Amino acid sequence: MTKTPTSKPRANPSGRSRGKTVYVKSARGRKSSSTRWLQRQLNDPYVAEAKRLGYRSRAAFKLIWLDDKYHLLKNAKRIVDLGSAPGGWTQIIVERAPKGAEIVAIDILEMDEVEGANFMQMDFMADDAEKKLFSMLSGKVDLVVSDMANSATGHKQTDHLKTMAMCETAFDFAKKTLAPGGAFVAKVLRGGTEQDLLADMKKHFKKVHHAKPDSSRARSTELYIVGLGFIPQKGDEIEQHK
């Protein structure tokens, strides 16, 4: 069982003083892309700060930034975390949500338990995933978050399309399970097709925002799309929630 960290993150880890840059020598059998990734990790202040605070990933700071900006967790009593492994976002949700909040996290990968959250290992894109997830919930949800992304293939268009498919599936789930006034957050990749999703979200939320947290790497095409003030539409309901 893993308890959530109690220390508060520094306001801007990237602004702290740093030592000399760490360079990684290429090793036999290691791809150049792997060497670059390792060097980036070793020199990333958010990685170091996550380790200091006991967060499982640097991605925790993305949700911290989003919550500070949009106040997602303050009054959220029932929350679903899609694509939760290794648990960085789940830790922040437990840390910032009201005491006693119902938190459900799922991922296709294994994830060590986070105290205060219920985890189920399953593929959210599977046909029966939605039904299983609904069975874990006691009612309508205040917040659905998704940090899901397709494992990088090296082909940008393929990665973009698969990640957008995950985002669209998460949004479809959110439409069926969010309570009026609820919120939805999901990772998207810039590439054009996200505009269709944005248009659909504007029909279902009072406000829709694009956001790029400070901890999101500058070269990354990732953005987060944030829907606030859910407005149920006819046809969104499903039998499990009638």
Q: Which residues are catalytic?
A: 187
DSSP 28-85: TT--HHHHHHHHHHHT-HHHHHHHHHT-SSTTHHHHHHHHHHH--STT-SEEEEES-T
Nearest to 107 by CA among 83, 87, 77: 83
Q: At what angle do helices 60-70 and 45-53 cross, to 10 degrees?
A: 90
Structure tokens at 160: 């973009």
Contact 120, 104 (CB under 8 A): yes
Query: What is the four-CA torsion angle of 200, 206, 207, 208, rounded to 10 degrees?
Result: -10
CA 106 distance to own-chain centroid:
11
